Structure 1
Amino acid sequence: MSSQTSGVLAKFLVVLFVLVGVFFQLAAAMPVEMEKRDVYVPPILYPHAGTVWYKGQRHNVTWDVSDPPVNITNKLGRVMLRKGDLTSPLILADGFDILLGRIEVTVPWVVEGSDYSLVLFGDSGNFSPQFSILQ
């Protein structure tokens, strides 16, 4: 094989490798159709405004599950306590199926107040109306 032929062959292989690389780049950039998922934000029904809880009691937090979407992004729920405008690190319940519609929690020992609410996490967080926790 002459040096001219080997030079042409080398250029051909380089162009071939570049084209194959471009093809794989384009294939990787193509959109992949994923299963459509919906964010589910079921409204909290209890506790409601005016509710009074006492430290140490057990209560069923309830939420409306009458109209869930077909494909929920995250079905695992978590209930956290919120005081005023801040969600506290207190997890009252965790790891339950968001479609249960209720979960029993124990009222934590916290400073008395009337500006507590609960945050129900699953796909997103939604807040209960404010209620009171007393001793």
Structure 2
Amino acid sequence: MFSTVFSIVGTALALASASAASALPVSSRDVWDPAIFTPTSETLWYIGQDYTVTWNTSNPPQEVTDVYGRLYLTQGDSGQAGPTLAQGFPLSDGEVSITVPDVQPALNWKVVLMGDSGDYSAEFRIESAPADA
């Protein structure tokens, strides 16, 4: 009986040890989630107008898993992907030009920059195009 218990415990410890060894610490992974500079919380975008989204490129990891980005809109804390603003651009560019799609005007829009990982901008406002545009 003791040998069966020791065998079970030994197997469990070996599996736990193997599992822990295969999990890389976060610091050694090549995840890059650059901070978004613009838009900011003070930003106002108009539907149909062109803008530039910018992000920090100063600290990429040595190996970047996905060098191309995707940028989309989301509202508030939903995390649900809304309209795609741009895709296939190099993350190392630090900026991409977009045209604001026809979305519901609101105060709580965010852009999400996806590549290796994702990062959100601050919430900002999107309004209908001004009458004189």
**Partner-residue secondary structure (3-state), 1:89:** coil
SS at 1:99 equivalent:
helix
The normalised TM-score by structure 1 is 0.71
Task: Tell me which residue corresponds to 2:131.
Answer: none
- Displacement of 1:97 in angstroms is 0.6
Equivalent of 2:101 in 108, 124, 130: 108
Q: How does 1:40-119 map to 2 (within 5 A)?
A: 40-86=32-78, 87-119=80-112
Consecutive unaligned residues in structure 1, runs of 5 or more:
1-30
Once the two structures are superposed, residues 41-78 of structure 1 have per-residue CA deviations (whole angstroms, 9 ceiling, x without a partner) of 10000001120000011011000001111101111100
Residue deviations 1:73-115 (CA, integer Å, cap 9, x gap): 1111000101122333311000111100000010111111000
- Give the Cα separation in 1 of the matches to 2:30 and 2:64: 5
Structure 2 residue matching 1:88: 3-state secondary structure: coil
How far is the alpha carbon of 1:118 from its aligned partner? 0.4
Shift of 1:37: 5.4
Runs of 4+ in 1 over 3 A off after TM superposition: none
Q: Distance in 2 between matches of 1:64 and 1:94?
A: 17
Distance in 1 separating the partners of 2:74 and 2:82:
9
Is the contact between residue 38 and residue 69 of structure 1 (CA under 8 Å) also seen in structure 2?
A: yes
Instruction: Write the distance in 1 (CA, Å) between the matches of 2:111 and 2:82.
Output: 12
Partner of residue 121 from structure 1, selected from 114, 121, 133: 114
Q: 2:57 is paired with a residue of what secondary structure?
A: coil
Count, aligned residues: 101
Structure 2 runs not aligned, ≥5 long: 1-21, 23-27, 129-133
Percent identical pairs in the alignment equals 41
Please, what is the CA RMSD of the aligned residues? 1.5
Q: Is the 8 A contact 1:37 1:72 kept in 2?
A: no
